[in-house]
C-alpha cells in the first residue's frame, strides 16, 4: 500500500461541500474526503479562502483525469502531489 492522496481545490465552502457529496455518488471511495479550509497568505477573511478536499487513494483506484474533469464542474482543480 502507498500513501496516495489527491487534493481538489475549490473556490468556496459551498462548492466543496457539494463536491464532497457528489464524489461519494460518482466514485467508490473507501472513506469520506477530508474538507480543509486553506486561507490565502495574509488573509483572515473566510471570503478569501479556498477549500480543499483531500482524498486518500491507497490502492490507486482513482483516475487523475476523471478527478480533473469532476472538480472543474465546481470551478476547481486538482493539485499535483
- Whole-number pLDDT of residue 2: 58
The residue that leads in pLDDT, 27 or 72, is: 72
- Whole-number pLDDT of residue 46: 54
Contact 35, 20 (CB under 8 A): yes
Contact 30, 56 (CB under 8 A): yes
- Report residue 2: phi and psi, to 5°: -120, 165
Reported as a single tens digit per residue, the pLDDT across 37-67 is: 987 655 555 556 799 999 998 888 899 999 9
Average pLDDT over the chain, rounded to an integer:
86
Amino acid at each position: 500500500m502507498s500513501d496516495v492522496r489527491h487534493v481538489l481545490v475549490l473556490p468556496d465552502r459551498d462548492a466543496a461541500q457539494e463536491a464532497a457529496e457528489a464524489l461519494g455518488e460518482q466514485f467508490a471511495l473507501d472513506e469520506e474526503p477530508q474538507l480543509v479550509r486553506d486561507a490565502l497568505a495574509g488573509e483572515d477573511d473566510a471570503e478569501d479562502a479556498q477549500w480543499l478536499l483531500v482524498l486518500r487513494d491507497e490502492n490507486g483506484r482513482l483516475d487523475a483525469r476523471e478527478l480533473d474533469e469532476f472538480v472543474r464542474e465546481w470551478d476547481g482543480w486538482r493539485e499535483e502531489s
